Amino acid sequence: MEHLEGKVAFVTGAASGIGLGIAQALAAAGCRVMLCDIEEAALETARAALAATNADVAAVRADVSLKAELQAAADATMARFGKVHVLVNNAGVGGGGDYGAWTQASWDWTIGVNLMSVVWGIEIFGPLIEASGEGGQIVSTASIAGLWAGVNPSYNVTKYGVVGLSEGLRTSLAPLGIGVSVLCPGFIRTAIMESTRNLPSRFGVVEGMTDGAEDGEFAKMARDAIAHGIDPRYVGELVREGIEGDWPYIVTDTEFEPAIDARFANIKAAFDRIRDRVPAR
With H, G, I as helix, E, B as strand and everything else as coil, classify residue 188. Answer: strand
SS (H, E, C) 3-37: CCCCCEEEEECCCCHHHHHHHHHHHHCCCEEEEEE
Angle between helices 17-28 and 40-51 (to 10 degrees): 20
Which residue among 99, 155, 160, 234 is the active-site one?
A: 155
Beta bridge mates, 178:
136
Cβ-contact 96, 206 below 8 angstroms: yes
Which amino acid would we find at residue 164?
A: G
Beta bridge mates, 251:
184
Cβ-contact 209, 106 below 8 angstroms: yes
Cβ-contact 145, 155 below 8 angstroms: yes
First to last CA, the chain: 47
Per the annotation, the verdict on 234 as an active-site residue is no
Q: Where are the alpha helices (DSSP H) in the chain?
A: 17-28, 40-51, 67-81, 104-111, 117-132, 153-173, 217-227, 232-245, 257-273
* Antiparallel, parallel or unpaired: β 249-251 and 178-184: parallel
Active site residues: 155
